[in-house]
A = this chain, B = another copy of it.
Amino acid sequence: MSLPHAILTALLEKPSSGLELTRRFDKSIGYFWSATHQQIYRELGKLEAEGLIRALTAEQPARGQKKAYEVLPAGRAELVRWTSTAQDPKPMRDALLLRLRAAAVVGAGGLEVDLRRHLELHERQLAEYREIERRDFPPGRDAPDDRLRHLVLRAGIDLETFWTGWLGHALAEFTQIAESAQDTEGAQGTKGAQGMKGADDARIAESTESAENAVRGEVAGPPDGERAGPPEGAAPTEPPGPGGAEPDGPGSEGA
């Protein structure tokens, strides 16, 4: 339940229409709380109905007409209440890390390219943040609200710094893996988590292949469309090894 409060904050900073808000959610506030224009219009409606904000423009509810909102005292009170209410951090969901983990199981083919792309995106974002800091927070600006806003910007900068650093490290690792795969080419399947014995050559083939850095996207079957029934005789991937001493943690599997 944060979107309404994001909007209240934005409107307190500057009364705006839906589209103006949308634009501001593309930068600024949107850097840590994104929202589409549909979400915003819907929420503006609710907030108005609840009496937390009100439309400024007298009365011209025509469709293509601009309609600005401002925050009412009740809205401000609600924002104060929300801000000082304890909230648990939401459990994180990061698809890139998930993909990396999947890659540890099925092979890393093709992932490297996207890793590089992400690195570039984060580098660009970081540069943008730094530029904003240079421009908007010169030394000396230290009124409490400036400090708080600067703190938020610092979080953005530090986060992007983390990502660029980590992605750089990851790419270096990928290169090393590819190299060592070259060294031991054809010798082994390089699979660790559980003892895999024969049973599924496709998997070994894939793992080996990806270790060799072969990039390909069309190994896969139909992504959507109708999947005809389960391949009847198809042997499932191998059963877990009896000595399944699995590691634990975000990078591995708990026992």
Q: How far is the CA of A224 from the CA of B141 in the complex (A)?
A: 6
Q: Are A202 and B73 in contact (CB under 8 A)?
A: yes
Q: Are B210 and A250 in contact (CB under 8 A)?
A: no
Q: Are B80 and A107 in contact (CB under 8 A)?
A: yes
Contacts of A194 in B (CB 8 A): 13-14
- If A29-B101, A181-B144 touch, whether A246 touches B13 (CB-CB below 8 Å) is yes
User: Does A99 lie at the interface of the complex (its beta carbon under 8 Å from any beta carbon of B)?
Assistant: yes
Report how many copies the assembly holds: 2
Contacts of A73 in B (CB 8 A): 196, 199, 202, 231, 234-237
- If A84-B111, A84-B216, A91-B34 touch, whether A250 touches B24 (CB-CB below 8 Å) is no
Q: How far is the CA of A89 from the CA of B31 in the complex (A)?
A: 13
Which of B91, B129, B151, B236 is close to A71, meaning CB atoms less than 8 Å apart? B236
User: Does A132 lie at the interface of the complex (its beta carbon under 8 Å from any beta carbon of B)?
Assistant: yes
Which of B70, B91, B210, B231 is close to A237, meaning CB atoms less than 8 Å apart? B70
- The proximity string for A residues 49-71 relative to B, scoring 1 for CB distances below 8 Å and 0 otherwise, is 01110101000000000000011
Contacts of A176 in B (CB 8 A): 147
With A79-B102, A145-B192 known, 13 other A-B pairs at CB within 8 A are A5-B99, A13-B246, A15-B239, A24-B254, A29-B253, A77-B221, A78-B223, A80-B192, A83-B110, A84-B217, A100-B148, A144-B215, A158-B166
Chosen A-B contacts, 5 in total, with CB atoms closer than 8 Å, are A10-B253, A104-B149, A143-B225, A143-B228, A144-B215
